[in-house]
Amino acid sequence: MTRDPTFWLLARASGFAAYTLLTLSVLAGLAVKSRPFRNISRAAQTDTHRAFALAGLAMLVLHGLALVLDQTVRLPLYALVVPFTSAYRPAAVAFGVLAAELTTLVYWSFSLRRRIGARTWRRLHWLTYAVFVGATIHGLTAGTDTGRIWADAIYLGAAGSVAAAATWRALTSTIKTKGALS
């Protein structure tokens, strides 16, 4: 009897989709703050950022569900929420679990911003960098497509674009701060 690869293929595709949407959300969030697109309103940029984040969460849920339903890895449901409990590459999967949990926390902080205050909300948003690094490590170490040119190009392109955008934000923030002090 052969195994049906549907859930395995769905898990891989939704994992890459979640990672791509996370990357787009991070880039959109950096654009809201550094404002490279001044002809687009801040509200539209924020909505785009949130839409990418929500779509990324949806793909993340699909990724986890497909992994639980798949017979290739045989991942128990609790391994999606408890780090280091997966029999399959426990540390690599733990990076994904922690990144997913932090993603959920950061996303829900949008709706709690007024309650928790802008300062706490901003601090929570700094976790996005840890989420991105954790998701990248997860993909590189748990993903079965790592080593394929197209997959490595996705990781390299995502990491490079986030690093470039974060550098741009830091530089523009420094310039604004120096300008304010002059």
Residue 1 pLDDT: 45
Taking a C-beta distance cutoff of 8 angstroms, is the pair 89, 144 a contact? no
Q: Which residue has the tokens 């002809």?
A: 39
Per-residue confidence in pLDDT tens, the chain, 182 aa: 457 889 999 999 999 999 999 999 999 999 887 766 677 888 888 899 999 999 999 999 999 999 999 988 889 999 999 999 999 999 999 999 999 999 999 999 988 989 999 999 999 999 999 999 999 999 999 989 999 999 999 999 999 999 999 998 888 876 665 555 54
pTM of the model: 0.90
pLDDT at 32: 86
Q: At what angle do helices 90-116 and 127-142 cross, to 10 degrees?
A: 160
The Cα 12–Cα 152 span in angstroms is 14
Structure tokens belonging to residue 66: 């497909």
Q: From CA 84, how far away is CA 97, in angstroms rounded? A: 9
Domain range annotation of the chain: 6-169
CA distance 21 to 60: 10
